[in-house]
């Protein structure tokens, strides 16, 4: 992994990708907090803890927050159950969702409204529930699906989305209907990542761009994970004889099976790395979840 963009990054950071627009984005998030009722903190369900951002979380102060673990359709169900138990024990409101699932998104908004109402009642015991416009701010790491969530709720392409970290670069208000308004914000990375493992997880889910992370390291890590997990998808898609193979051999096998070859039949490894990452990220190599819930 490279240490990029910031020569003043702390020496113990194994990885640092914090382009200028992210510092600005964080400042603007703090400035707009007073205009919203609640923040949806979007994470990737496949990296439930390390796709959070402590600095961003601290910046939210006392504002009510709902943790939305998006892309649940790509997350290993057993791991998701274990993480759900852990999140429930922590006491912060959370929800695992696949944002293309309309009823699940409806439930997320209902839960957000309930949290806001409960908070109003806690601040003012004489408060009587009334239907007011709900204003939500959507924050989180790059590429976690913030803008897609907004488009799904709005039922139209109100904001640009792409499988590319750093797509949204400026804040944008989107009116869903007369009851809901949403503020889309650019993805913000933690200023530094201390653990090599976390940098690999975040690269695997494409929260970090491939030209900043190292495609070879990330693809090798993903293959190692899938081999250890022994999911049938890897074996079937790449016609492997076994899942007991070293990563080097699997890479060679993929090059042959998928025709990623150069002159004289030599493997074109950069193409293989790209192919492995693309297929992993759209779920074709099976569901994943990196890391275990912390032990009490
Ligand atoms: N499988 C799956 N893909 C999703 C889901 N939500 C979003 N995506 C995909 O994730 C990619 C990134 O989505 P965006 O909405 O642009 O992500 P973002 O968080 O706004 O990214 P930035 O603007 O870079 O911070 C797109 O290719 C989406 O189609 C989901 O629930 N499931
Ligand atoms: Mg976006």
Map residue 228 onto helix, strand or coil: helix
The answer as to whether 254 is a domain residue is yes
Q: In DSSP terms, which residues pair with 3 in a beta bridge?
A: 16
Helices within the chain (DSSP H only): 20-32, 54-59, 77-90, 102-123, 146-154, 196-204, 215-229, 232-237, 247-257, 269-281
Closest CA to ligand 1's atom 7: 145
171 and 218 belong to one structural domain: no
DSSP 239-291: T-S-S-S-HHHHHHHHHHHTT-B-GGG-B-HHHHHHHHHHHHHTTTT--B--S
172 and 219 belong to one structural domain: no
The answer for residues whose C-beta is within 8 angstroms of residue 109's C-beta and 6 or more apart is 134, 136, 153, 180
Domain boundary among 138, 166, 184: 184
121 and 265 belong to one structural domain: no
Q: What pLDDT is recorded for position 77?
A: 98
Which residues span the domain enclosing 248?
214-281
CB atoms within 10 A of CB 290: 24
Query: What tens digit of pLDDT does each residue of 265-287 get?
Result: 999 999 999 999 999 999 999 99
| Atom of ligand 1 minimally distant from the CA of 42 | 19
The answer as to whether 5 is a domain residue is no
Domain boundary among 184, 206, 238: 184
Q: Which two tokens stand for residue 179?
A: 């009851």
Residue 144, sorted as left (phi over 0), alpha (psi -120 to 50) or beta, turns out to be: alpha
Taking alpha carbons only, the member of 232, 211, 234 closest to residue 224 is 234
Helices within 13-93 (DSSP H only): 20-32, 54-59, 77-90
Question: What is the tally of structural domains in the chain?
Answer: 2
Q: Who surrounds ion ligand 2 at CB < 5 A?
A: 146-147, 167-168
Q: To 5 degrees, how large is the angle CA 164–CA 279–CA 246?
A: 120
Binned at pLDDT 50, 70 and 90, residue 14 comes out as low
The answer as to whether 198 is a domain residue is no
139 and 79 belong to one structural domain: yes
Ligand (nearest to CA of 172): 2
CATH label of the domain that carries residue 178 = 3.40.50.300
Q: Which two tokens stand for residue 220?
A: 């090798």
The answer as to whether 86 is a domain residue is yes
Lowest mean pLDDT among 2-16, 95-109, 183-197: 2-16
Residue 140 scores a pLDDT above 80: yes
Taking alpha carbons only, the member of 50, 91, 115 closest to residue 292 is 50
The answer as to whether 199 is a domain residue is no
The answer as to whether 221 is a domain residue is yes
Ligand 1: list residues with CB < 6 Å: 70-71, 73-74, 98-100, 142-148, 161-163, 165-168, 186-187
Mean pLDDT of 190-198: 90
The answer as to whether 200 is a domain residue is no
Residue 239 scores a pLDDT above 50: yes
CB atoms within 10 A of CB 101: 14
Residue 1 scores a pLDDT above 70: no
71 and 118 belong to one structural domain: yes
32 and 116 belong to one structural domain: yes
162 and 224 belong to one structural domain: no
Domain boundary among 184, 201, 232: 184
Q: What pLDDT is recorded for position 12?
A: 54
70 and 154 belong to one structural domain: yes
Percent of residues, the chain, with pLDDT higher than 70: 95
Give the whole-angstrom CA distance, residue 103 versus residue 153.
10
pTM: 0.94
Ligand 2 centre and the CA of 288: distance in Å?
23
CATH label of the domain that carries residue 257 = 1.10.1580.10
93 and 219 belong to one structural domain: no
Pocket test for ligand 1, best of 29, 143, 279 (most atoms within 8 A of CB): 143
Taking alpha carbons only, the member of 230, 216, 191, 232 closest to residue 272 is 216
The answer as to whether 11 is a domain residue is no
54 and 163 belong to one structural domain: yes
Buried b / exposed e over 62-84, threshold 16 CB at 10 Å, is eebbbbbbbbbebbbeebbeebb
Query: What tens digit of pLDDT does each residue of 195-233 get?
Result: 999 999 999 999 999 999 999 999 999 999 999 999 899
Mean pLDDT of 129-144: 94
173 and 232 belong to one structural domain: no
153 and 74 belong to one structural domain: yes
Residues 30/63, Cβ–Cβ less than 8 Å: no
Percent of residues, the chain, with pLDDT higher than 90: 85
Ligand 2 centre and the CA of 58: distance in Å?
21
Ligand 1 centre and the CA of 142: distance in Å?
9
Bridging pattern class, strands 38-44 and 65-70: parallel
Give the whole-angstrom CA distance, residue 29 versus residue 77.
33
């Amino acid at each position: 992994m490279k240490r990029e963009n910031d020569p003043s990054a702390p020496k113990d950071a194994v990885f640092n990708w914090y382009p200028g627009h992210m510092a600005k984005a964080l400042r603007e998030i703090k400035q707009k907090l007073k205009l919203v009722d609640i923040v949806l903190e979007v994470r990737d369900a496949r990296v439930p803890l390390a796709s959070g951002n402590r600095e961003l979380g601290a910046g939210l102060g006392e504002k009510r927050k709902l943790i939305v673990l998006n892309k649940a359709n790509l997350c290993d169900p057993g791991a998701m159950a274990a993480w759900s138990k852990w999140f429930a024990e922590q006491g912060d409101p959370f929800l695992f969702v696949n944002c293309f699932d309309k009823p699940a998104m409806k439930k997320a908004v209902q839960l957000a409204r309930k949290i806001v109402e409960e908070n109003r009642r806690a601040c003012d015991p004489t408060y009587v529930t009334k239907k007011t416009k709900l204003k939500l701010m959507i924050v989180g790491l790059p590429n976690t699906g913030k803008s897609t969530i907004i488009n799904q709720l709005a039922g139209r392409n109100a904001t640009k989305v792409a499988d590319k970290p750093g797509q949204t670069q400026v804040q944008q208000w989107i009116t869903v209907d007369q009851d809901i308004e949403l503020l889309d914000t650019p993805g913000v990375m933690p200023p530094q990542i201390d653990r090599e493992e976390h940098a690999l997880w975040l690269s695997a889910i494409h929260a970090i761009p491939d030209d900043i992370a190292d495609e070879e390291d990330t693809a090798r890590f993903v293959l190692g994970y899938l081999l250890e997990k022994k999911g049938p998808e890897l074996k079937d898609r790449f016609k492997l004889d076994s899942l007991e193979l070293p990563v080097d051999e699997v890479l060679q096998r993929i090059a042959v099976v998928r025709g990623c070859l150069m002159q004289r039949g030599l493997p074109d490894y950069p193409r293989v790395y790209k192919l492995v990452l693309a297929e992993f990220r759209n779920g074709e190599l099976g569901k994943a979840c990196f890391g275990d819930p912390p032990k009490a």
